[in-house]
Amino acid sequence: MRWIPLIAGMALIAACGGGGAGGTTAPAPPSGTTTLISEIQGNGDASPMAGQTVTVTGLVTGDFQDGDSDTDRNLGGFYLQDAPPDLDLGTSDGIFVFDGDSPAVDVEVGNLVEVQGEVTEYFGETQLHLTSVRVVGAGSVIPTPINLPVSGTTTNSDGDIIADLEHFEGMYVRFADPLTVTELWNLERFGTVTLSEGGRLYQFTNGNAPDAAAYTAHTEANARRSIRLDDGLRNQSPTDVRYLVAGSTEDYSIRAGDRTTDLVGNLRYSRGSGGSGAETWRLMPTGDPEFESLNPRPAAPAVNGTIHVVGFNALNFFSNIDTGANTCGPQADQSCRGADSNVELTRQLGKIVTALTMLDADVVGLVELENNADASLNTIVDALNAALGSTDYTYIDTGTIGDDAIKTGFIYRATTVSAVGNYAILDRSVDSRYNDARNRPALAQTFTVDSTGAVLTIVVNHFKSKGSSCNADGDPNLNDGQGNCNITRTNAAAALADWIGTDPTGSGDTDFLIIGDLNAYTREDPLAAFESAGFTSLLRTAANPYSYLFDGQAGALDHAVATPSLVPQVAETTVWHINADEPPLLDYNLEHGRNPTLFDANSPYRSSDHDPVVIGLDLTN
Give per-residue pLDDT as tens, 389-441: 999 999 999 999 999 999 999 999 999 999 999 999 999 999 999 999 999 99
Integer Cα distance of 285 and 229 in angstroms: 8
Integer Cα distance of 241 and 30 in angstroms: 42
- Whether domain 307-617 has CATH 3.60.10.10: the reply is yes
3-class state of residue 313 by DSSP: strand
Phi, psi angles (nearest 5°) of residue 410: -120, 135
Phi, psi angles (nearest 5°) of residue 300: -55, 135
For 37-91, how does the pLDDT look when each residue is reduced to its tens digit (9 = 90+)? 999 999 999 999 999 999 999 999 999 999 888 888 999 999 999 988 777 889 9
For 364-381, how does the pLDDT look when each residue is reduced to its tens digit (9 = 90+)? 999 999 999 999 999 999
Instruction: Check residue 83 and give its pLDDT.
Output: 83
pLDDT band for position 32 (cuts 50, 70, 90): low
Q: Is the pLDDT of residue 501 over 50?
A: yes
Integer Cα distance of 426 and 442 in angstroms: 5
Integer Cα distance of 452 and 417 in angstroms: 10
Q: Is the pLDDT of residue 16 over 60?
A: no
3-class state of residue 247 by DSSP: strand
Instruction: Check residue 72 and give its pLDDT.
Output: 84
Which residues lie below 8 Å from residue 250, measured CB to CB, with a gap of 6+? none
Integer Cα distance of 548 and 210 in angstroms: 19
Instruction: Check residue 238 and give its pLDDT.
Output: 84
CA distance to 10, 78, 118, 400, 516, per residue, from 94 (Å): 21, 10, 15, 61, 51
Answer whether 26's CB lies under 8 Å from 138's CB. yes
Q: Is the pLDDT of residue 596 over 70?
A: yes
Stronger pLDDT, 370 or 2, i.e. the higher one? 370
Residue range 600-612: mean pLDDT, rounded: 98
Residue range 102-112: mean pLDDT, rounded: 94
Which residues lie below 8 Å from residue 432, measured CB to CB, with a gap of 6+? none
Integer Cα distance of 38 and 93 in angstroms: 5
For 162-197, how does the pLDDT look when each residue is reduced to its tens digit (9 = 90+)? 999 999 999 999 999 999 999 999 999 999 999 999
For 196-218, how does the pLDDT look when each residue is reduced to its tens digit (9 = 90+)? 999 999 999 999 999 999 999 99
Amino acid at 82: D
The domain segmentation of the chain, as residue ranges, is 3-142, 146-292, 307-617
Integer Cα distance of 102 and 129 in angstroms: 14
Nearest to 413 by CA among 314, 300, 309: 309
Check residue 457 and report its DSSP letter.
E
Choose the CATH number for 3-142 among 2.40.50.200, 1.10.3720.10, 1.10.150.570, 2.102.10.10: 2.40.50.200
Instruction: Check residue 317 and give its pLDDT.
Output: 98
Q: Specify the pTM.
A: 0.93
Q: Is 364 left (phi over 0), alpha (psi -120 to 50) or beta?
A: beta
- Cross-strand pairs, 74: 233
Q: Is the pLDDT of residue 383 over 90?
A: yes
Q: Beta 144-145 vs 172-175: how paired, if at all? A: parallel
CB pairs under 8 A, 24+ apart, for 587-590? 587/315, 587/348, 587/351, 588/339, 588/344, 588/347, 588/348, 588/350, 588/351, 589/340, 589/344, 590/340, 590/341, 590/343, 590/344, 590/347
Instruction: Check residue 5 and give its pLDDT.
Output: 27
Answer whether 362's CB lies under 8 Å from 305's CB. no
Mean pLDDT of the chain: 93
Q: Is the pLDDT of residue 14 over 60?
A: no
Pick the range with the lowest mean pLDDT from 44-58, 228-242, 245-259, 605-619.
228-242
Answer whether 529's CB lies under 8 Å from 493's CB. yes
Q: What is the 3-state secondary structure (H, E, C) of 284-312?
A: EECCCCCEECCCCCCCCCCCCCCEEEEEE
3-class state of residue 380 by DSSP: helix
DSSP-assigned letters across all residues of 578-608: SSTTS-GGGSS---TT--GGG--TT--TTSS
Which residues lie below 8 Å from residue 478, measured CB to CB, with a gap of 6+? 210, 212, 486
Answer whether 556's CB lies under 8 Å from 539's CB. yes
Which residues lie below 8 Å from residue 384, measured CB to CB, with a gap of 6+? 353, 356, 357, 393, 411
